[in-house]
Structure 1
Amino acid sequence: MGSSNQNRDWLLQVYQSPRSVFGLADIALLTGESNPISLTKKLHYQIGKGNLKNPRKGLYAKPNYDPAALACTLYTPTYVSLDYVLQKEGIIFQYDSAITAVSYLSRALEIEGWQIKYRKIKDAVLLNTNGIISNENGIHIATKERAFLDMLYLNGNMYFDAINTLNKNKVLNLLPMYASNVLEKRVKKILKI
């Protein structure tokens, strides 16, 4: 009976966390379990019972996890940006169900039916937190202005359906981190500055 209560208490600690995707070290810190073998056994038991998911080796998730949290946890540093943000903000209308993120590598993955696309960007941009919102679920997401600049920087010339919602001052404040004269010219032409 004591073991069953400990398992329930342990799982309750995971469920009470605002995060939905965890690495092994995250769960160890959250639950206070210092024995990695014991922790792994507990995790696999909960996965077998359907209380947790194992979307990728070394990652564990609540059953209804946020795929954007998975994208940010799988490779770090990473932030969600590009098409994903621009679609949600109504700046581009063409629908793509993939989660697009910026990281230190370029890669496309499918995990549990979710398409996740990573685009590599230089460290000076990746590690700069201006224009990135981080929430308690472990999701780091670009503002629409940052996503707009990331898209132009990585893809060159693009068509945007509704740029009138962009804050031009925010765009101009973020622009220097890219250190690109070509990008600066593109932005000024598109925004008619």
Structure 2
Amino acid sequence: MKNIIKDSQLIENYKQTLGGVFSFSELATLFADPHKTSLYRRISELEDEGVLQRFIKGFYVAPNFDIEILNQKICPQSYISFTTVLSENSIIGMKPGNQIDAVKLGKTRIHKSSQWTLRQFGVAEHLIFGFESLNGVNKAAPEKALLDTFYFHQHGVAFPFDVNSEINWKRIDAEIVQIYLQEYKNPKFVAFMNRLMSVNL
């Protein structure tokens, strides 16, 4: 009982700083417990009390955690794109809801909890560009989010909005799109985007 009160307070003290997201190594440092068995027991007690919830192996979240920070901790080299970025820049009207989509190097990974879905779509190394870090979270530029969306839409990925009718093309910078398209090695995709821009921009 003594540990659960102390540990709960530690989580509360660091929740805001860490966005409510705690890796196993961060919890080990926080609790200063050298014994793995004891550490797992303390984490389990926090889960029973609803102070923490295991999202995937090695990552735990507190209530009202920041899903964008969780994405960054799970895959530090990824960047958030698609619906989130398009919505934040008023390129589409809808909000992303309880789903975050990101781009990463390598294989696609999908992580789910009872409330959240985190999709990390894998690409080749030459397509990891066009993003910046904002408050520790990597986010695509609006034009890269647009290209990511159409690129994966052509590969059969579904999005919670109609890519053919719900995009506000007036908020897209055609010159930036053209610069980014130079990095794509798929001539069919480049031609497809050029046709779209000639009609909409």
Conserved? CA contact 1:14–1:27, under 8 Å: no
The residue aligned with 1:117 is 119
1:77-119: CA deviation from partner (whole Å, max 9, x where unpaired): 4322123322333323466633222233334443122233332
2:154 is the alignment partner of 1:156: yes
Larger deviation, residues 54-63 vs 87-96: 87-96
CA 1:36/1:132 → structure 2, altered by over 3 Å: closer, same or farther?
A: farther
Q: Distance in 2 between matches of 1:12 and 1:65?
A: 12
Q: Distance in 1 between matches of 2:30 and 2:177?
A: 38
In structure 2, runs of 5+ residues without a counterpart are: 156-162
Q: Which runs of 4+ in 1 moved over 4 A?
A: 1-6, 29-34, 93-96
The residue aligned with 2:160 is none
Query: Paired residue for 1:144, among 142, 150, 153?
Result: 142
Query: Cα offset for 1:64?
Result: 0.8
Q: Normalising by structure 2, report the TM-score.
A: 0.72
The residue aligned with 2:186 is 180
Larger deviation, residues 108-117 vs 29-38: 29-38
2:91 is the alignment partner of 1:85: no
The residue aligned with 1:101 is 102
Query: Cα offset for 1:148?
Result: 0.8
CA 1:189/1:53 → structure 2, altered by over 3 Å: closer, same or farther?
A: same
1:41-84: CA deviation from partner (whole Å, max 9, x where unpaired): 32222222222222333211121112333344445543221233
Conserved? CA contact 1:102–1:119, under 8 Å: yes
Q: Distance in 2 between matches of 1:34 and 1:141?
A: 36
The residue aligned with 1:21 is 21
Query: Cα offset for 1:20?
Result: 2.2
Conserved? CA contact 1:131–1:146, under 8 Å: yes
2:56 is the alignment partner of 1:56: yes
Q: Distance in 1 between matches of 2:118 and 2:12?
A: 29
RMSD of Structure 2 on Structure 1 (CA) = 3.3
The residue aligned with 1:168 is 174
User: Percent identity over the alignment?
Assistant: 20
CA 1:34/1:175 → structure 2, altered by over 3 Å: closer, same or farther?
A: farther
Q: Find the residue that maps to 1:177 and give its secondary structure.
A: coil
Count of residues paired in the alignment: 189
Q: Distance in 2 between matches of 1:18 and 1:75?
A: 15
Q: Find the residue that maps to 1:7 and give its secondary structure.
A: helix
Q: Distance in 1 between matches of 2:193 and 2:19?
A: 36
Q: Distance in 2 between matches of 1:36 and 1:173?
A: 50
Q: Distance in 2 between matches of 1:180 and 1:118?
A: 21
Amino acid at match of 1:113: Q
Conserved? CA contact 2:21–2:65, under 8 Å: yes
In structure 1, runs of 5+ residues without a counterpart are: none
Q: Normalising by structure 1, report the TM-score.
A: 0.74
Q: Find the residue that maps to 1:99 and give its secondary structure.
A: strand
Conserved? CA contact 2:100–2:118, under 8 Å: yes
Q: Find the residue that maps to 2:182 and give its secondary structure.
A: helix
Q: Distance in 1 between matches of 2:74 and 2:22?
A: 9
